Amino acid sequence: MSEPTVPSVEQISIQDKAAPVEKTEKAKPALAAKPKKGNKVSLKTPKGTQDYNPQQMTIREQVFSDIKTCFKRHGAVTIETPVFELRDTLTGKYGEDSKLIYDLADQGGEICSLRYDLTVPFARYVAANGVLNIKRYHIARVYRRDNPVMTKGRFREFYQCDFDIAGEYDLMVPDSECLRLICEILDQVKVGKYLIKLNHRKLLDGIFAICGVPADKFRTICSAVDKLDKSPWAEVRTEMVETKGLEPAVADKIEAFVKLSGKPFELLAKLRETKMCDSNKDAVEALNQMEVLFEYLECFGCSDKILFDLSLARGLDYYTGIIYEAILTEQDRVGSIAAGGRYDGLVGMYGKKDVPSVGFSIGIERIFTILEEEYTKKNQKIRQNATQVFVAQMDKSLIKERLLICTALWNAGVNTEYSYKVNPKGGNQLNYANDNLIPLVIFIGKSEMETNTLSVKNMFTGEQISIPREGFVTKIQDLLSKIDMNAIPVTSNTTSTK
């Protein structure tokens, strides 16, 4: 990841309701300041945040639902953690990115920060609750004091969708399932063609040792290598040598390794044939682990989506094993759309026992950016509601009849709407149902009242029938069961009102 430009430290003050009040002065309720005439209140959202309209939320809810379905298919449970943590919980876990943590000026006697990701709070949760094994997902907002580029899906407040497996398991078994699950999710959300770049932290550290990087510079040089996806080698080399004090000859040796990438078994064979890593036992062990992983990925049917890439570094300090990032191959506007790896020592930082863990996060905001852009290109709007039936009246003074019909449908679990006008115009009601892609409209007028019937129109086929008022709910449910909601067109121009 490219190193962002970091603004000056920003703090959010939180007034603790339990803060003591001076005994010598009676506490007075705060009065809201009245805006002066002519002064306009700013209506913009804070930098790096945004509002989401109903069309955007429809996309987001559908994608969240698809991702949850994938998580649950693999047996995951979900948890929730506070939106802020004790600052000591977060510091020292993110390497150079620690400068992006949002600090809170808390008057409650504890120094807290907004959560930077969902992985560190998960590790704290596992240690605090004595959990020895868990497969969990967590979808929630996180916060980063980053320099936002919102057109590329980079925000200061955004959602992460995490999946992690914690526990003592055999080599590469849970790791391979995580990679398989990433493929399932990206296929499900139809975000485009992708590849998952894969490397191993022990292999990377072994390469650094082979090249002569001092051990105390492994993490800082790793952070520099992590920028190769966005910066050319010349710039990364300059950072290594001029900023981080690495010997030029050592940096040149690193170049020979980090420019290598290829199909999993092909690059693995090349590294073994050339014996480039044979002088370091950690590198050799990592290659042996990668071979096991590649074999499992073949069984999972996703090895063709894997790129073995020695330039992949992942800048976060807590990774200890395999690391990976998913990228789109047909465009590079939003960067990686999923990333993760193994972090066996993180839980042990909070408790007496290490609990080995592996997991990933889906770059959900970047996926939303891509999907929203696709709909914009096609000039499409989304069916924003889940309404199945609209109840319309064709004559005056039938508001109570409509309310009775709606009540019966709601009691049966049928999603139903009606106009909020006592005597709405027939055309406006039909336009609303048509614009919002509501499949069935129930009409009631004088003739229906006289014959104790209801008229029902299928808005997609144009077919209209008459049904008895008695037991009408069962008939409506039967008609709805025959409509394929997945085949309903997505184009919608919601211009009319109820």
Task: Give pLDDT tens digits for 243-268.
Answer: 999 999 999 999 999 899 999 999 99
Residue 160 labeled ligand binder: yes
* Maximum CA extent, the chain: 95
For 46, half-sphere exposure in the C-beta direction (CA atoms, 13 angstrom radius) is 11
pLDDT of residue 276: 92
DSSP per residue over 164-229, as a string?
EEES---TTHHHHHHHHHHHHHHHHHT---EEEEEEEHHHHHHHHHHHT--GGGHHHHHHHHGGGG
Residue 117 labeled ligand binder: yes
3-state helix, strand, coil in the chain (%, to 5): 40, 20, 40
pLDDT of residue 421: 95
pLDDT at 331 over 80: no
**Residue 319 to residue 247: CA distance in whole angstroms:** 25
Handedness of CA 9, 15, 19, 24 (dihedral sign): positive
Residue 144 labeled ligand binder: yes
pLDDT at 300 over 90: yes
Q: Between 178 and 147, where is the model more confident? A: 178
**Residue 256 to residue 270: CA distance in whole angstroms:** 13
State the pairing for strand pair 322-328/194-200.
antiparallel
pLDDT of residue 37: 59
pLDDT of residue 377: 77
> Residue 245 corresponds to which tokens in the numbers above?
């004090």
| Structure-derived torsion over alpha carbons of residues 201, 204, 206, 209, reported in degrees to the nearest 10 | -130
**Residue 188 to residue 169: CA distance in whole angstroms:** 28
| Local confidence band at 498 (pLDDT 50, 70, 90 cut-offs) | low
pLDDT at 22 over 50: no
Other Cβ atoms less than 10 A from the Cβ of 193: the count is 10
pLDDT of residue 35: 53
Residue 66 labeled ligand binder: no
Task: Give pLDDT tens digits for 110-156.
Answer: 889 999 999 999 999 999 999 999 999 999 999 988 777 776 667 88
Computed over every residue of the chain, the mean pLDDT equals: 86
Arithmetic mean of pLDDT, 205-231: 88
pLDDT of residue 67: 95
pLDDT of residue 115: 93
Beta bridge partners of 13: 105
Residue 45 labeled ligand binder: no
pLDDT at 360 over 60: yes
Identity of the highest mean pLDDT range in 4-13, 246-255, 467-476: 467-476
Arithmetic mean of pLDDT, 2-15: 36
